[in-house]
């Protein structure tokens, strides 16, 4: 009967322990982030302290500081994690859509739908109301670079396929479209206009500038 070498068994045991430790750390990190968002929503940034966050998360103040430098860095981490999750969902959604126009529509609609969710709407409004320092706000904005790059990819493919105008500059126009999305997001947060209506309005506006003559609107749908 074969017997397992002690070093092999120890290796597997150590690997399992490392996974448990990593999972525990991730759970603590998430709990601290969730606590920070809750307190900031209730009391504002000025009323949010690491001590309060630690108490709400059920950890010691020292543990909270082991994970994060200060309150703003906790919120920065929350935004970073959320953008990463959204990017993965968006990439998967675009992979299931064919044609530049359809992919552009999916990109725009996904953003608006995301902020239309009640939990996202309240979270975004809370973040806007917080007095985040310019440096942290800039770092939060930097996390959208991956989203802008994905949009640039959609525009570049559309130009290469002749659906979008050859004068389209993928990088520059992607940045402009992200600003348009930001403005539309403001209307979503107000809740005055249905997402489907906003998405259609935004797509109509965008297509009038991006698409080749005769390829926007109903005619363009055949080419998408």
pTM of the model: 0.71
> What tens digit of pLDDT does each residue of 60-101 get?
999 999 999 999 899 888 888 888 888 999 999 999 999 999
CATH number reported for the structural domain that contains residue 37 in this entry = 1.10.357.10
Domain containing 130: what range?
Answer: 71-223
In the chain, % of residues over pLDDT 90: 39
The total number of structural domains in the chain stands at 2
**Residue 45 and residue 79 share a domain:** no
Cβ-Cβ contacts under 8 Å for 125 (sequence gap 6 or more): 189
Distance CA 106, CA 86 (A): 13
- pLDDT score for 130: 58
| Two structure tokens written together for 83 | 């953008």
**Residue 217 and residue 193 share a domain:** yes
**Residue 79 and residue 53 share a domain:** no
Average confidence (pLDDT) over 125-132:
55
Q: Are 192 and 116 in contact (CB under 8 A)?
A: no
**Residue 76 and residue 58 share a domain:** no
- pLDDT score for 206: 83
Q: Are 48 and 40 in contact (CB under 8 A)?
A: yes
**Residue 93 and residue 41 share a domain:** no
Concatenate the DSSP letters of all residues of 18-41 into one string: HHHHHHHHHHHHHHHHHHHHHHHH
Using the predicted structure, report yes or no on whether residue 181 has a pLDDT greater than 70: yes
**Residue 77 and residue 63 share a domain:** no
**Residue 129 and residue 100 share a domain:** yes
**Residue 97 and residue 125 share a domain:** yes
Final residue before a domain boundary, out of 13, 39, 68: 68
Measure Cα distances from 32 to 75, 103, 194 in Å.
10, 36, 34
Final residue before a domain boundary, out of 34, 49, 68: 68
**Residue 108 and residue 4 share a domain:** no
């Amino acid at each position: 009967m074969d017997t397992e070498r002690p070093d092999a068994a120890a290796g597997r045991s150590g690997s399992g322990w490392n996974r448990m430790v990593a999972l525990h750390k991730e759970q603590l990190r998430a709990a601290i982030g969730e606590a920070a968002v809750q307190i900031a929503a209730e009391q504002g940034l000025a009323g949010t302290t690491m001590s309060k966050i630690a108490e709400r998360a059920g950890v010691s103040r020292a543990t909270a500081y082991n994970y994060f430098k200060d309150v703003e860095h906790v919120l920065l981490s929350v935004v970073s994690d959320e953008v990463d999750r959204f990017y993965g969902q968006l990439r998967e959604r675009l992979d299931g859509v064919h044609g530049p126009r359809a992919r552009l529509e999916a990109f725009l609609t996904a953003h608006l739908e995301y902020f239309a969710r009640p939990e996202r709407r309240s979270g975004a409004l809370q973040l806007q109301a917080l007095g985040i320092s310019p440096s942290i706000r800039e770092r939060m904005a930097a996390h959208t670079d991956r989203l802008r790059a994905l949009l640039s990819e959609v525009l570049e493919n559309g130009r290469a396929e002749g659906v979008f105008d050859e004068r389209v500059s993928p990088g520059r126009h992607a940045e402009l479209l992200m600003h348009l999305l930001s403005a539309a997001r403001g209307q979503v947060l107000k809740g005055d206009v249905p997402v489907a209506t906003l998405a259609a309005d935004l797509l109509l506006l965008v297509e009038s500038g991006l698409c080749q003559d005769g390829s926007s609107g109903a005619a363009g749908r055949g080419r998408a």
